[in-house]
Each structure stands twice: as C-alpha cells, then as structure tokens.
Amino acid sequence: FAEWGWRIPFWLSLILLIFSVYIRLKLHESPIFQKMKSEGKGSKSPLTDSFFKYPNNKFVLLALLGATAGQGVVWYTGQFYALFFLIITLKLDYISAYTLIGISLLIGTPFFIFFGWLSDKIGRLKIILTGCLIAAVTYFPLFQGLTHYVNPALEEYSAKTPITVAATECLAPWNVPTPCDSARDFVTKAGLSFVTTDGPAGSAPTLTLKHPTASKTVQGYSAATWGAALAESGYPAKADPAKVNWFMTELILVIMVIYVTMVYGPIAAFLVELFPTKIRYTSMSLPYHIGNGWFGGMLPLTATAMVAATGDIYYGLWYPIVVSIMTLIIGAIFLSETKNRDIRTYDHSMLP
C-alpha cells in the first residue's frame, strides 16, 4: 500500500470528477441572481462592498467569529482530531481507527439533513450555538472516555507512573527542535501526560519514571533509551484490541459527529440569509473559509503543540473549547436569527 496502493483512491476519484463536471455544466445561476443581473442591480465592486463598507464588513467579521470559527473547530475536533487522538495518543492501529471514524460518519450523516430540517423550523443560529455549547462542555469527558474505553492499560499505566521531564531551552529557534523539544515530543507521542521541570542550565533532558515497584531516571534524551525505559516500566506500546470497548468507543465518536452535524447542517443557509444578494457569495466566502481553513485547519497542529508544551494529553482540547465559547458569546450577543428573511429582497438597511 505504501508503494502504490495509496494512489487507488485518487484514481477512483476521477470517476467522481467526471460526475462533478457533468453536474456543474448542467447547473444554472439561481433565479434571484439572474433577476438581479437582468435588472442591473449587481455590485460593481463586490470586494469593496463586502469588506470595506459598513455595515456589511461588520457582519463578515461577526459571521467569522460568531458562527464559522466555532463550526470549524467542532468539525475538525469530531472528524480529525479524534482520529489523531486514537492513533497517536491511544495507540490504536490505523485500520481500526479509520474504521471507527468511518462508521461514525455513516451513522452521523443523516443528522446533517435532520438539523438542516430542524433549522427551518426553529432557526439556524440557535442550533449552531447549541452545538458549540454542548461541544465545549463535553469535550473533556468524551476524550477521557476514549482513553478509558480504547486503551485502559495506558490509562492505568499513566495513573500509576507519574512522569517528569527535566529540561532547559525548550523554545525552538527557527523551527529547529532543541533536545527539550524532542524529549517533550517523544513523551507526548507516547500518549503520556508528564510534568515539566527546569533542569540545570545547559543540562540535557532527564526522564524520571516513578513506578510503584521501582523508579528510574534516564539522563540525556535518546528515543531508544527513553523507549527502553518506558518498556521496562510496563508501558503498553499498543492498544490491545481484546480490551477495547468497541461499542462505547463508537458511541463517543458518533456523539462528536452529531455535534459536527449540529453546527454544519444549518451553516450554509445561515450564511446565505445573512448577506444581500448583490454581494452574498463574496461576503460569505471569507468567514466560511477562514473559519474552517484557519480556525479549524490549524486545530490538530495547535492542539498537539499545546499538549507538548504543557505535558497534559487533554490540554489541546482547550483550543476548540475556547473558540467554541467565543463563537457562542459573540453569536448570541451580536447576531440575530435569519430563517424568516426573504433572501430575494433582504438588505442590511432592513435591520432595526
């Protein structure tokens, strides 16, 4: 697979590409846009009107911070960070991890339609913000639950074996890892929480394992020697499939995918209804792509860096939690419901 098998999905995607091109060639502009264009009411400078004229630029910023930023981090947490957590932190094998995520997506997919339908009944914004709220409140217990049900041996080892990493000079200049950075990264990727202390100036990183039967200290960082020390202390290098609670693991993953559907199902309709026709797509493109591409896309890297910096395998969850709470507060205070707006005639001047 590593040599050529990975290319197969890309070859198969050519079939989807053909269907995609065919469908796009058959699509027409929306009647609302065609009517606006025929009447000569379109924007002559959509970029200026969208991003440099008040109040539309205010709503572009509010859409980003009060809707799509939270939607982006909830999406990436449920579909991507959960996958990385299973594989990197909990040491579950690739096939099992991808299978679990795939099943959760299959089970959760109908909820995109459900929450889209529900937003037609009760409103878009309240569903999006509720999804952000529930996600922020439950991410810590859900990921702790994954640890408990996927790799109970790792959970037990971590509880019985406090780990300390003593090191200095832990800020990498120009992205060149220092021994301290490498040491922290090693323990983080082992799926273990640890305490960081300052070592003597100029000293090499030191690993201390306080196992109930015997404590061990390893001077100087080496992946081989630190790995051997962990193995000697009973560290479980892989999740044991026989000990995985598959049902509870899948249930947790499905719950997180349902959060994704809550924030994602109504977001397209919300953004469409938030802006007037003449600058609608230009205006909604920035908050959508920045919210998903930056706030969401940076989540795995940012969360992993936060874990390595603090030594807490759950600390990276503060990133999606803080962004979700930010979206909840800004969206609740500064944005209003859009489901009853007439997108054919809406303009910001109609707002009270």
List the domain boundaries for the chain.
54-151+249-350, 154-232
Q: What pLDDT score does 53 carry?
A: 93
pTM: predicted TM-score of the whole model, two decimal places: 0.91
pLDDT exceeds 70 at position 344: yes
Closest by Cα among 178, 151, 148 to 165: 178
Closest by Cα among 210, 222, 227, 111 to 161: 210
pLDDT exceeds 70 at position 107: yes
Where does the chain have alpha helices with state H? 8-26, 31-38, 46-51, 56-63, 69-76, 82-84, 94-108, 110-122, 125-150, 152-160, 179-189, 223-232, 246-264, 267-274, 280-290, 299-310, 318-334
pLDDT exceeds 70 at position 172: no
- In the chain, the percentage of residues whose pLDDT exceeds 90 is 77
CATH of 154-232, one of 1.10.287.110, 3.30.470.20, 3.80.10.10, 3.40.30.10: 3.40.30.10
Q: Determine the distance from the C-alpha atom of residue 67 to the mean position of all C-alpha atoms in its chain, rounded to a whole number.
A: 15
pLDDT exceeds 80 at position 176: no
Question: β-strands 195-198, 206-210: how paired?
Answer: unpaired
Q: What pLDDT score does 175 carry?
A: 67
Question: β-strands 215-219, 163-167: how paired?
Answer: unpaired
Average pLDDT (57-76) is: 97
Give the angle 98-145-181 at the CA atoms, nearest 5°. 75
Q: What pLDDT score does 340 carry?
A: 93
Q: Which comes out higher in pLDDT, residue 44 or 122?
A: 122
- Give the Cα separation of 87 and 83 in Å (integer): 6
Query: Would you state the structure tokens that stand for residue 143, as one six-digit string?
Result: 């990921």
Average pLDDT (137-143) is: 98
Which CATH superfamily, name and number, covers 54-151+249-350? MFS general substrate transporter like domains (1.20.1250.20)
Question: β-strands 195-198, 163-167: how paired?
Answer: parallel
User: What is the rounded radius of gyration, in angstroms, for the C-alpha atoms of the chain?
Assistant: 24
Average pLDDT (294-315) is: 94
Q: What pLDDT score does 174 carry?
A: 58
Helix (H, G, I), strand (E, B) or coil at 167: strand
Average pLDDT (77-83) is: 96
Cβ neighbours of residue 312 under 8 Å, at least 6 residues apart?
Answer: 193
Give residue for tokens 């994704």. Answer: 260
Q: Which comes out higher in pLDDT, residue 203 or 186?
A: 186
pLDDT exceeds 90 at position 179: no
pLDDT exceeds 90 at position 61: yes
Query: How many Cβ atoms are within 10 Å of 225's Cβ, its own excluded?
Result: 13
Mean pLDDT, the chain, rounded, equals 93
- Give the Cα separation of 207 and 217 in Å (integer): 6
Whether 259 and 72 have beta carbons less than 8 Å apart is answered as no
Q: What pLDDT score does 171 carry?
A: 67
Closest by Cα among 132, 162, 2, 153 to 67: 132
Whether 291 and 35 have beta carbons less than 8 Å apart is answered as no
Q: Which comes out higher in pLDDT, residue 30 or 17?
A: 17
